[in-house]
Structure 1
């Protein structure tokens, strides 16, 4: 496997590895995002077995031991499986997430105590500002949360808009259609009455870029894309009775 690197916004690097065995024949990309600043942050660690690939990719951008922060959308192997490997390499690094993730999982799972973030807390990386946005059960996991990088207008959106295949690193094309097709395939989203409302709150940020964990990053009208995804979630929730 090969991990490709692309700078999708100023100082934000997408590290992407295609795994052909997942969702064949198209395969499935696993993406991490390195946000550079005086205190760099890695969003998603990749699973443990992918750690050597991701570490080597980070090393092409900066010394891995200088990584300061580690975070992810929710507690899941592909999002944080290599968390402790990174803590071992970067001795000053800290895991950071919301209260639910820390209390329920990370206080025990992380080799060093995590830093807990309140809703709308800003992590100042020095040159980049990441605002923490709790998104419980969106798209899944009650501890789920995302970050909006305010300087570049980039939403680190985890599993939202997940799609199969290995497209370009950055696209201005349709990401909703492929996301709908992937949801029809995987049924991975936790549909509940607040799903659409949470997506509309993210849309209010008017992000200029959407950094997808599985699929190409998107450049364009992030607000419109999130509102369209909210409508699809509402449709699915109504069809399953999740809103009742």
Structure 2
């Protein structure tokens, strides 16, 4: 469903109560990119990624098409970049009971100072429950980049909010696909490689694969459904 006709911002359900909010942007003549945020509806709704501060009005409107924005209780980010948390304080103002969450390193280095409310600093393997859903945090330093990086999985549906992993260019028209996303994401990565290529990258990807995600909620491009363990290990093999 398109919620803003000017920007093309749209919201679509990729799993029961799990919504991808997508905004396409032009990055040059005939070239496009896209930004996704994910809303998980539960007793305590979760927003993962806020989008840039400039996107706040359209992301807020997309959320409001599903739930009142003030009902948000958890607002998370993978690492400290504008597309991850630029609109964080705007959402904290709009949702007075919401708490930001991030890795313990992100809280120490940036978010503790940036956020208008103290963040919940999560450590590797830490879990929290929002009603019927159980989330697990994974500390993934430098994977794909940034020391403070962490990723999130909703354990009851095996939906893995994998941030900048498997980034695809274009508008991201398809909310959810079963088609290959490894080759398109690798083709996008090669010209401006944004992976840190840390010594532990393949090991971290392998450990993530052990949790057998079935949906990968990608931050840029189509979310993907299938054997997430196989796909994560295939990516790890490319980065050795």
The alignment's TM-score, normalised by the length of structure 1, stands at: 0.93
- Partner residue in 2 for 1:92: 97
Identify the residue that residue 10 of structure 1 maps to in structure 2.
16
**Partner Cα distance (1:14, 1:131) in 2:** 19
Segments of 5+ residues of structure 2 without an aligned counterpart are 1-6
- Counterpart of 1:132 in 2: which secondary structure? strand
Give the secondary structure class of the aligned counterpart of 1:119: coil
Choose from 44, 48, 53 the match for 1:48. Answer: 53
* RMSD between superposed Cα atoms in Å: 1.0
Question: Which of 132, 137, 140 is the equivalent residue of 2:137?
Answer: 132
Greater percentage in strand: 2
Shift of 1:189: 0.8
Residue 196 of structure 1 corresponds to which residue in structure 2?
Answer: 202
User: Is it true that 1:220 corresponds to 2:220 in the alignment?
Assistant: no
Structure 1 Cα separation of the partners of residues 169 and 184 of structure 2 = 8
Q: Which residue of 19, 31, 40 maps to 2:36? A: 31
Conserved in 2, the CA contact under 8 Å of 1:47 and 1:81? yes
- The correspondence of residues 139-218 of structure 1 with structure 2, limited to 5 A, is 139-166=144-171, 167-218=173-224
**8 Å CA contact 1:2, 1:53 repeated in 2:** no
Contact 2:78–2:103 (CA under 8 A) maintained in structure 1? no
Number of residue equivalences = 233
Counterpart of 2:25 in structure 1 is 19
Quote the offset at 1:25 in angstroms: 2.6
Please state how far the C-alpha of 1:72 moved relative to its aligned partner. 1.3
**Counterpart-to-counterpart distance in 2, 1:186 and 1:127:** 40
Conserved in 2, the CA contact under 8 Å of 1:41 and 1:68? Answer: yes
- Note the alpha carbon deviations across 1:30-64, whole angstroms, 9 max, x for none: 00000111001100000000000000000001000
Select which of 229, 235, 242 maps to 2:235.
229
What is the CA-CA distance between 1:115 and the residue it aligns to? 1.1
Distance 2:150 2:164 in 1: 11
CA distance in 1, matches of 2:15, 2:130: 15
The equivalent residue for 2:4 is none
Preserved contact between residue 159 and residue 214 of structure 1 (Cα < 8 Å)? yes
Gaps of 5+ in 1: 235-244
Q: Secondary structure at the match of 2:239?
A: helix
In structure 1, the partner of 2:125 is: 120
Q: After TM superposition, where is structure 1 displaced by more than 6 Å over at least 4 residues in a row?
A: none
